[in-house]
Amino acid sequence: MTTRPLQAAAAQRAGLADSATVRMTLLALSAAMMFADLALIFLWAPTEQVMGVVQRIFYFHVPEAWVGFLAFGVVFIASIGYLVTGKRKWDVAGHSAAEIGVLFTTLMLITGSIWAKPVWGVWWTWDPRLTTSLILWLLYVGYLMLRAYAPTPAKAARYSAIMGVIGFIDVPIVYFSVVWWRNIHPELIIGPAAPRDALDPRMLVTLIFSVFTFTVLFVYLLWERMSLRNAEDEVKALRQGE
């Protein structure tokens, strides 16, 4: 009779040990890659001739955009998973990925503005990609607000899963509509917008490495956020059990 709880506790400890190993591995890998990435970006990659040093923000901006899309893709799959199966793990994954996605989309918008100011002469233009990114950001801030304001955790999970599906399907439609919208009102060319020639090989290598680095960082953050969310739920369950 007494062995069963003991076994359960042992199994749980083993599970914790496993997750600790995965966590440390991911943390070490993403830290090591991030240092290497910084070295590539600031020491190895050549300075762009027209834009100068500010162009190095490119190696942060593009990977942030990629991680944002990747995260929202994970939200989409997790949302479908939740709506079909109703299993909690899908909700945990979707919720965690949405938070990370909003974080990286925010960083993408900020670094983009910082880059645009010296290069285009303005902080913002209603270019299709910029507009779509902004709407993307608004969609998933709405997703997080919906979770926060939902009456019960079960409703938060269902509602946000619906938003996770609708939002992701909406993004390509938004993009098309904005492209056509901007074609009707031709954009003013402001500042010395550099022509997009083929990238220097070193720039390309740095960019690709940076994208990989940020992807590993995303996996690590997702892992951390999901285990945090599990811990939060456990605390809630314990409190209710009192």
Partner 1 sequence: MRDFLLPIMTIAWKDVLLELRTKDVVTSVLMFALLAMVTFNFAFDPSPAVIALVAPGILWVAFTFAGILGFNRSFTLEKENGSLDGLLLCPVSRDVIYFGKLLGVFTFMLVMEAVLLPFFAVLYNLPVLDLKLLLLAALATLGFAGVGTLFSAMAVNTRSREIMLPVLLLPVASPVVIAAVESTRAILEGAPWGEIGRWWGLLIAFDMIFLIVSSFVFGSTLEE
124 binds partner 1 (CB under 8 A): no
From CA 167, how far away is CA 187, in angstroms rounded? Answer: 27
Q: Specify the stretch interacting with partner 1 by CB under 8 A; choose among 36-44, 55-63, 118-126, 170-178.
A: 170-178
Q: Which is nearer to partner 1, 110 or 162 (CB)?
A: 162
For residue 113, give every residue at least 6 positions away whose Cβ sits within 8 Å of its Cβ, in sequence order, or none: 123, 124
170 binds partner 1 (CB under 8 A): yes
The answer to whether 182 and 103 are in contact (CB under 8 A) is no
165 binds partner 1 (CB under 8 A): yes
b/e map of 53-68 (b: 16 or more CB within 10 Å)? eebbbbbbbbbbbbbb
Q: Which is nearer to partner 1, 76 or 220 (CB)?
A: 76
Binding-residue pattern over the window 71 to 100 for partner 1, x denoting contact by CB under 8 A: ------------x-----------------
Cα atoms in the 13 Å half-sphere on the side-chain side of 205: 9
142 binds partner 1 (CB under 8 A): yes
Q: Which of 87, 89, 155, 202 binds partner 1 (CB under 8 A)?
A: 155
Q: Which is nearer to partner 1, 165 or 222 (CB)?
A: 165
DSSP 169-214: HHHHHHHHHHHHHHHHSPPPP-S-PPP--PPPHHHHHHHHHHHHHH
Which spans in 40-152 are helix H? 58-85, 88-120, 128-149
The CA-CA-CA angle for residues 25, 29, 33, to 5°, reads 175
Q: Which is nearer to partner 1, 9 or 138 (CB)?
A: 138
Q: Which is nearer to partner 1, 159 or 223 (CB)?
A: 159
108 binds partner 1 (CB under 8 A): no
From CA 236, how far away is CA 155, in angstroms rounded? Answer: 16
Q: Which of 7, 39, 176, 191 binds partner 1 (CB under 8 A)?
A: 176
Binding site for partner 1 (CB under 8 A): 83, 135, 138-139, 141-142, 145-146, 149-151, 155, 158-159, 161-163, 165-167, 169-170, 173-174, 176-178, 180-181, 184
